[in-house]
Chains A and B, each alone.
Chain A
């Protein structure tokens, strides 16, 4: 271990050897953490104990999912990062409520539903305060989608802005995220019958309102029309 001596003749530890040891130890630790993160029960145990490795692993694994869920329900919004953080803040605080570690993702989805519902209701309340500046939907991030597809997406959520929060969430989870009825019901923490009723109301409303929008009318007349055009 000792590689050289200082001016007084005292042996000094080899820094190269030490750094190698640290790297080896760090690598082993990282591999161990990754293995633990792959085990749902171990991950949940780490979250309950508020261990940094578990919280980091959860964020790495589930941030994209939470962002996608929120985007499905809300469309593109300026508060996406804040709302995503809110989901994880609540998840860390309420992790002890999770009964089945294997249901971690579904459980996060239900938290995202509640966060989205609050955001929708907050936005609707702001609309009553006419002296506040109107919120404008942020420009969609650039992608390869065609102009028609992006226009249809924008108008789709403009139509949904007129829906109640419960109907909007059920509609987007079912038809945009593609969840089954039981999955939608679990995420919203209501019965399947309730989800069916909400979907019926939302579908009828979407048909009535969407027909008035030029960006969607072609879709109503013929079905699937917009595709992602790869540049």
Chain B
């Protein structure tokens, strides 16, 4: 397992790389950042305000809708009796004087007139109509025609169902007879004692009784209630034939083809930057690896050689590093190439003599010598590997003098002691 110390060392080195890159980064000026912060803050404030307004708007709309629903909710019809200021009450007996009439005025405009001596009650009402019971006497009804009208007058066992009509009806409780005289519209009269429903239309009149001495209907017999004819069955729709699969016609050979140019293949550098080292070397081979080694700049050639090393192409890596040393002899890049050649000799070829030679070359040629601790440590390892104990011991002493806490310090301590 990697120790914390090793992780810290790696992390510190990576942090240096990051800090170096951040220093070179084009950062927006403070004024631009402040402006962006203010814009973002204003944008969030606007969003917050808009959201609040939206919530308030939705809330207000909901309240308004509730109020409208309340105001426009279906209300039961109300009525007034005569000239009374207040509204009539359900179930209360309404009586016309013996020498006069009594009006019932409903809120939809319908009117009922109780003739002299007549008595009636409004037993219930809803938005579509009311139930009026004729206790006795003659009641004239003028019901305003409206969709979904649902009025009923009751006289004894008889019910007169009204949808939009002007008629007179009377109930004689002693003779148990209902009389209906139509002026306009039509009504349906029903009772248990009647076989079915009786319909009366404009100009018709009839007397109804459930007793044994019931009066026969007026000369104009009421027409039987018509039943609506059955709706015709819809004709079966023939099934549509299955759609044939669409076949695109072959392209015309005479029409010129427009071919898009093939996308440009990524370069070896682009592939290397993405970590595709094998692909990068393949691309470099396609371009001509050896030609690249003769034409690339110092940094690019080092990068090509290191890419080959990371791709596991030790031979190509060695070729590239050797090209650096040959073309740019005496440069810091040439020294770095020596270090990497030493790595390849040690790690891949296990050629400790060649590895020692290259690590020593680095130490001799480097200027800033950033890899000096590693080069000295690995030189010491190579000397130990080739069996040259005295050389290794000398390198160990030198290493501990310069780098007492270096990565190879433990090895150096073990080699220093005879």
A141/B25 in contact, CB under 8 A: yes
Does chain B have a CB within 8 A of A107?
A: no
Bound state CA distance, A222 and B24, in angstroms? 30
A125 sits at the interface (CB 8 A): no
Whether A89 contacts B40 by the Cβ 8 Å rule is yes
Q: Which of B8, B24, B307, B310 contacts A175 (CB 8 A)?
A: B8
* Contact sample, A vs B, 15 pairs, CB 8 Å cutoff: A59-B37, A64-B22, A67-B27, A139-B273, A141-B22, A142-B24, A143-B24, A145-B20, A148-B306, A151-B310, A175-B10, A176-B18, A203-B7, A214-B312, A228-B16
- The answer to whether B34 touches A229, judged by C-beta atoms less than 8 angstroms apart, is no
Residue of A nearest to B367 (CB): A230
Residues of A within 8 A of B336 (CB): 146, 229
Q: Is A147 in contact with B25, judged by CB distance below 8 angstroms?
A: no
Question: Which residues in B have their C-beta under 8 angstroms from that of A56?
Answer: 30, 34
- Chain A positions within 8 Å of B, measured between CB atoms, are 52, 55-56, 59-60, 63-64, 67-68, 71-72, 76, 81, 84-86, 88-89, 92-93, 136, 139-156, 158, 172, 174-178, 203-204, 206-207, 210, 214-215, 218-220, 222-231
- Residue numbers in A under 8 Å from B23 (CB-CB): 143
Question: In B1-48, which residues have CB < 8 Å from any A CB?
Answer: 1-2, 4, 6-25, 27-28, 30, 33-34, 36-37, 40-41, 44
User: Contact between B37 and A76 (Cβ–Cβ < 8 Å)?
Assistant: no
Which residues of chain A come closer than 8 Å to B407, judged between CB atoms?
A: 222-224
Q: Which of A60, A93, A144 contacts B20 (CB 8 A)?
A: A144
Chain A residues near B27 (CB, 8 Å)?
63, 67, 81
Q: Which residues of A contact B368 (CB under 8 A)?
A: 229-230
Closest residue of chain B to A177, judged by CB? B15
B277 part of interface (Cβ distance < 8 Å): yes
Complex-state Cα separation, A102 to B9, whole angstroms: 30
- Whether B40 lies near A229 (C-beta < 8 A) is no
A89 touching B306, Cβ below 8 Å: no
How far apart are the CA atoms of A74 and B140 in the complex, in Å? 91
* Bound: A152/B10 CA distance, A: 10
CB-contact partner of B10 in A224, A229, A230, A231, under 8 A = A224
Q: Is the CB of B1 within 8 A of A203?
A: yes
Q: Is B351 an interface residue (CB 8 A)?
A: no
CB distance from B19 to the nearest CB of A (A): 7
Task: Write out the residue numbers on chain B whose beta carbons fall within 8 Å of the beta carbon of A55.
Answer: 34, 37
Q: How far is the CB of B16 from chain A (nearest CB, A)?
A: 5
Expressed in whole angstroms, the Cα–Cα distance for A56 and B38 within the complex equals 11
Is B184 close to A, CB under 8 A?
A: no
Distance between Cα atoms of A92 and B1 in the complex (Å): 43
Determine if B374 is an interface residue (Cβ-Cβ < 8 Å).
Answer: yes
The 7 closest A-B pairs by CB, nearest first: A175-B11, A223-B407, A227-B370, A143-B20, A176-B11, A143-B21, A141-B21
Whole-angstrom distance between the Cβ of B22 and the nearest chain A Cβ = 6
Residues of B contacting A158 in the complex (Cβ-Cβ under 8 angstroms): 275
B332 interfacial contact with A, CB 8 Å: yes
User: Is the CB–CB distance between B310 and A215 below 8 Å?
Assistant: yes
Q: Mark B294-306, 1 if CB is under 8 A from A, else 0.
A: 0000010011001
- Are A68 and B18 in contact, CB atoms less than 8 angstroms apart? yes
Q: Which of B20, B310, B371, B373 contacts A214 (CB 8 A)?
A: B310
